[in-house]
Amino acid sequence: VLAAPAAAQAHVGVSPDAIAPEGSAVLAFSFTHGCENSPTTALRITMPDGLTSVSPTIDAAWDVAVERADNGLVSAVTYTATTPIPHDLRGEVTMAVRLGEDTPETLAFPVEQQCETGVNEWVEIAEEGEAPHDLDSPAPVVTVGDAADVASETHGTHASETEAAAPAADPAPAIGIALGSAGLLAGVVALVIAIRAARRSAR
What predicted TM-score, i.e. pTM, was given to this entire model? 0.69
pLDDT for res 52: 97
Residue by residue, DSSP assigns 44-71 as: EEEPPTTEEEEEEPPBTTEEEEEEE-TT
pLDDT for res 195: 54
pLDDT exceeds 60 at position 2: no
Contact 88, 45 (CB under 8 A): no
Task: Please state, in angstroms and rounded to a whole number, the distance separating the CA atoms of residues 62 and 78.
Answer: 9
pLDDT in tens, 157-200: 444 444 444 444 455 555 555 555 555 555 655 555 555 655 55
Task: Please state, in angstroms and rounded to a whole number, the distance separating the CA atoms of residues 47 and 111.
Answer: 9
